[in-house]
Amino acid sequence: MESIGVVVNPIAGMGGRVGLKGTDGNVAEARRRGAEPRAPDRAREALRSLHRRAPDLTVYTAAGAMGERAVRDAGYEPAVVYEPADADASDTEPVSTTADDTRAAVRALLERGHQTASDEPSECTRSDDGVDLVFFVGGDGTAVDVAEVLEAAEGETPMLGVPAGVKIYSSVFGVTPADAGRIAAEFDRTETREVNDIDEDAYREGEVRTELKAVVPVPVAPAVQSSKQVSSGSVESLATGFAREVEPSRTYVFGPGGTVGAIEEELGIDPSPLGVDVWRAAERDDSAGNAAGANAEHGELLAHDAAESDILEVLTDPVTIVVSPIGGQGFVFGRGNHQISPAVIRRADEIAVVAAAEKLDEIDSLRVDTDDEEIDEELRGWLQVRTGRFTTRLVNVV
């Protein structure tokens, strides 16, 4: 590979920690809630990984926060082929880039021509001068925008994503930013993979509506994540066993997903299926002869569908975080549960991972991607995952 095109969606992932479950159409609300950009830092991490392995690449990109700044910080001298309207905004300043900017930037990368935000969109076909890989930073929505342009070009330019969005259902992303950079530097062949997206409004209401948007060439590597699988296997015995063992006076942070939701239901809590809930078990009632028991009368719901700030506000020690891995990917932190941030994880003295045995059969290992390398390193290693009322399985966190 001689050249690469870089596009960063600088607002990707901003809605995660503030509980919006996505940023599409909600940038202003995310900022009002105090959201901070995460995509620029993840872009730098990925590009530094790339630069260590391929320092002599020719890098084409968009101006400012859409790529140029991160590319320079990684050690490359980029060729800017597209300028969005607010190219001069810093990483900490509000930006107003849109899906149209992403698509226009990708067209410019394929054409290697200069285009500004005021230019009319044009048809584009890949020329011999086109980049060898479109390397983008964002989530599923960004992946759709990139894929649409590549498909319209009717060429064979591959794409590879750096995961920075709240939801990652597509199988076109590196597992981590560093993995994405390594893959971009070392791949020698591609295969077709799926680009999926969901209806964010339905997602915020607790319903997952996925749709296949494109099938595109992607570099072949073990560290390209699989499509997310939505599993609905029975977890009744697991939920019953967990609920009967809740500790009095302990605070539980329940992550999203059906498996954790089943535990909440067993405790008498109405779960937010794709959000995070915080519940505190009551003090021990010696007259009852046991611990907190398995219904909401023995506990208090402190926060429902909570943002990171909501969680931190109500936490009281001791704290258990309860999460379930994403089927087909194995992520326990960093996909769909950004509200459980490094700050929240640091407050916990216990992390409980729960999963039906059938789900674990689909996963070779568990993964974490919290934006905090120290936390990620602490979480790595062999972990006991609860699979039933009395059963557990050791799974490696890599």
What does the CA dihedral 24, 30, 32, 33 come to, rounded to 10 degrees? 150
Tokens of 311: 């969680």
- Residue 30, amino acid: A
**How many whole angstroms separate alpha carbon 82 and alpha carbon 313?**
43
Most distant CA pair in the chain: distance in Å?
79
* Peptide bond just before 318 cis, omega within 30 deg: yes
Q: 386: which strand partners? A: 354, 392
Strand pairing report for 367-368 and 331-333: parallel
Give the model's pLDDT for residue 264. 95
Give the model's pLDDT for residue 127. 39
Give the model's pLDDT for residue 22. 52
DSSP SS3 for 252:
strand
Cβ atoms < 10 Å from Cβ of 227: 19
Tokens of 138: 């964002």
Strands (E) across 50-199 are located at: 58-62, 79-83, 115-116, 134-138, 159-163, 190-198
**How many whole angstroms separate alpha carbon 269 and alpha carbon 267?**
6
Give the model's pLDDT for residue 169. 79
Kindly state the helix (H) or strand (E) to which residue 4 belongs, with its residue range.
Answer: strand 3-8
Contact indicator for 238, 388 with CB cutoff of 8 Å: yes
Which residue, chain included where needed, has tokens 């999926």? 196
φ/ψ bin of 389: left (φ > 0), alpha (ψ from -120 to 50), beta (otherwise): alpha
**How many whole angstroms separate alpha carbon 265 and alpha carbon 296?**
9
End-to-end CA distance of the chain: 29
**How many whole angstroms separate alpha carbon 333 and alpha carbon 274?**
14
Where the chain has pLDDT below 70, the residues are 13-37, 86-95, 113-129, 167, 199-210, 222-234, 285-297, 327-328
Strands (E) across 255-391 are located at: 277-281, 299-303, 319-323, 331-333, 350-354, 367-368, 381-386
Tokens of 380: 């790595």
Give the model's pLDDT for residue 234. 53
Contact indicator for 329, 228 with CB cutoff of 8 Å: yes
* DSSP label at residue 170: S
What does the CA dihedral 342, 16, 181, 144 come to, rounded to 10 degrees? 170
Contact indicator for 213, 193 with CB cutoff of 8 Å: no
Contact indicator for 64, 87 with CB cutoff of 8 Å: yes
Which of 197, 255, 252 lies closest to 16 in space, CA to CA? 255
